[in-house]
Amino acid sequence: MNSINNIKTVVFPVAGLGSRFLPATKVVAKELLPILNKPLIDYAVNEAKNAGIERFIFVNSPHKPSVINYFKKNEKLEKELGDKNSEYFKLISSNLIEQENLIEVIQDKPLGLGHAIWCAKDYISGPFAVILPDDLVLSDVPCIGQMIEVYKKSKSNVVAIQEVDKNNIEKYGVIDYYKNENNIYHVKGMVEKPAKEKAPSNLAIIGRYILNPSIIEELSNHELGVGGEIQLTDAIKKLINTERVIGYKFDGNRYDCGNIMGALEAQLSVAIKDEKYKSQVKEIINNLCKD
Ligand code: G1P
């Protein structure tokens, strides 16, 4: 179980339809679309594992069992591959999550991110992390690990933030703050998907959170927010009355894999950072740019 300073649990909301990626998502869950040879969700789980997280809660739709199966042993494939020392065998073994730490919770109605987190309530007993797999963050120190450090020092809820162009601000939750010290912003308000003119800052919330369990109570009245959905941002905003909330400008690059161009940029960025593919990718891009 979680002690106050020890964040060992992460929640991944993965129940979304992935409509931006239709028709692919007719048959493949958005979270399983690959960035090179690994599905998007693998990057999120790996980030959490590298930050010391041990318990993985997937809030899933009833129609996407493959997202969970990806982290389970595939005995049939293991048999087919045969040699346990082969490179392929290693590739299918390195991403496994032990059964007792792999929890699936079903969200059967698309009622929003806040509702998805609330669905995990029976498994939350202390502070926990939330990672939205659509937001891929490439960094030296895992983004969620950076945030756990901030949580340990401050005992405050922590949301990841980054500056975004004001013309895109209405896609995000946006913080209002009363002071900042370096990368730490003390939050006094937040609003989900504000119109450009109404945004309190250009600091957008990115899909990484460290939350106290009290968030579950805030979510339990199922208040509808923007888009007719139960918004996590609204619930965190209410927490500000009784608890501190910090906006943390993380070190690293974030790619919005929830849309096609963001996913393409992520592909190229991951490939160009990989020694194995670097020079080929540069060559491909150079050739394409000549046309
Ligand atoms: C969600 C959150 C929003 C946050 C965004 C980050 O929105 O509700 O506050 O800024 O993720 O990606 P969504 O992208 O699901 O509409």
**pLDDT of the chain, 291 residues: tens digit per residue:** 444 558 999 999 999 999 999 999 999 999 999 999 999 999 999 999 999 999 999 999 999 999 999 999 998 998 888 888 888 888 888 899 999 999 999 999 989 999 999 999 999 999 999 999 999 999 999 999 999 999 999 999 999 999 999 999 999 999 999 999 999 999 999 999 999 999 999 999 999 999 999 999 999 998 899 999 999 999 999 999 999 999 999 999 999 999 999 999 999 999 999 999 999 999 999 999 986
- Kindly report whether the global pTM for this prediction surpasses the value 0.85: yes
Which of ligand 1's atoms lies nearest the C-alpha of 113? 8
Instruction: Retrieve residue 53's tokens.
Output: 């997280």
Which of ligand 1's atoms lies nearest the C-alpha of 207? 6
Residue 79's CB is within 10 A of a number of other CB atoms, namely: 8
Calpha distance 181→234 (Å, rounded)? 25
CATH superfamily of 9-258: Spore Coat Polysaccharide Biosynthesis Protein SpsA; Chain A (3.90.550.10)
Report whether 187 contacts 245 (CB < 8 A). Answer: yes
Which long-range contacts (C-beta less than 8 Å, at least 24 apart) are formed by 96-101?
A: 96/71, 96/72, 97/45, 97/56, 97/71, 97/72, 99/72, 101/54, 101/55, 101/56
The enclosing H or E element of 240 equals none
Q: Measuring from each residue's beta carbon to the nearest atom of ligand 1, which residues come in under 6 Å?
A: 113, 132, 135, 172-173, 192, 204-207, 232-233, 258
Residue nearest to atom 8 of ligand 1 (CA): 173
Helices (H), 124-201: 143-154
Omega of the bond leading into 39 within 30 degrees of 0 (cis): no
Polymer length of the chain:
291
Query: Domain residue spans in the chain?
Result: 9-258, 263-291
- Dihedral of the alpha carbons of 33, 38, 43, 49, in degrees to the nearest 10: 130
Calpha distance 286→39 (Å, rounded)? 27
* Close Cβ partners of 232 (under 8 Å, ≥ 6 residues apart): 112, 113, 114, 117, 130, 173, 209, 215, 219
